[in-house]
Amino acid sequence: MRIRIAHSPDSDDAFMFYPLTAGVIDTEGLEIEHVLADIETLNQRALEGTYEVSAVSFHAYPYIADKYLVLPSGGSVGDGYGPLVVAREELKSLKGEKVAVPGKLTTAYLVLKLYEPDFEPVVMPFDKVLDAVLSGEVKAGLVIHEGQLSYKDKGLNKVVDLGEWWKESFGLPLPLGGNVVRKDLGKEIIQKIERLMRKSVEYALSHPEEALKYAREYARDIKEDTEKTKKFVSMYVNERTIDYGEDGRRAVRLLLSLGYQRGIIKVPPPEVIFSDEV
């Protein structure tokens, strides 16, 4: 049986999926095909149920909950850190300002709306955000992926770390994205995919140099800096990527609940979210 796994072409996803990509773990009879696309594209395709397994933003999950469950492994969680808002100058407030955002279904956008509801979003590809700030096209930019470590090299200033704000506000880690599995695959295949995802993350974490060598090719503007690549990967592939943990799962539910209460998410979040809770 062929299973398409869609994920972002960035270093943390490359690191955790390396064992499955390289064929170094037993796939239990499943034929795995990898599909690469940026996270906002994956969110949009998940709305249509395109792929059997896909990385998605948690912000998108309530809109796809009829088709997908979240796998217990493979999550990107920031514990006291996360997406950043950066600017050329020091800003006291984002109220009323033009802010470049990497998509309105990204979790980063959801958390920014919780932090400051009144700003003017300018949607663009995530890898264009820093340039838009530098050129003055926008006042500030919402930065995800490796830009969280490279913005200083471009002379930009941090306005707010949304993961830090979330932790201070709610005492919980910030769940940004997860891997979802399509419900129509049935319990047996879903459980097999749960095992494979966990094995892939565990193998990568126990063979970090091997996985990091592969992941560096996807590190974009920090790929020549091994230490920065290693730091970024460790931020989003760690013990919480093996399993969210009780507080991580609680954080997912709180994030979606707050988004719905504030009118950012337009549909109520589902009661059952994780595939191993069915």
Domains in the chain (CATH in brackets) are 2-77+175-277 (3.40.190.10), 84-170 (3.40.190.10)
Residues with a known catalytic role: 145
Across residues 67-86, what is the average pLDDT?
A: 97
Distance CA 254, CA 189 (A): 29
**Is 70 exceeded by the pLDDT of residue 179?**
yes
The confidence band for 218, taking pLDDT boundaries of 50, 70 and 90, is: confident
**Is 90 exceeded by the pLDDT of residue 150?**
no
Report in angstroms the alpha-carbon separations of 222 from 65, 100, 114, 200, 231: 35, 21, 30, 24, 11
pTM reported for the whole predicted model: 0.94
**Is 80 exceeded by the pLDDT of residue 105?**
yes
The confidence band for 229, taking pLDDT boundaries of 50, 70 and 90, is: confident
> How many CB atoms neighbour CB 7 within 10 A?
25
> How many CB atoms neighbour CB 15 within 10 A?
31
Structural tokens at position 9: 């072409």
Residue 106 assigned ligand-binding role: no
* Average pLDDT of the chain to the nearest whole number: 95
Residue 107 assigned ligand-binding role: yes
Across residues 228-242, what is the average pLDDT?
A: 93
Q: What is the pLDDT of residue 22?
A: 92
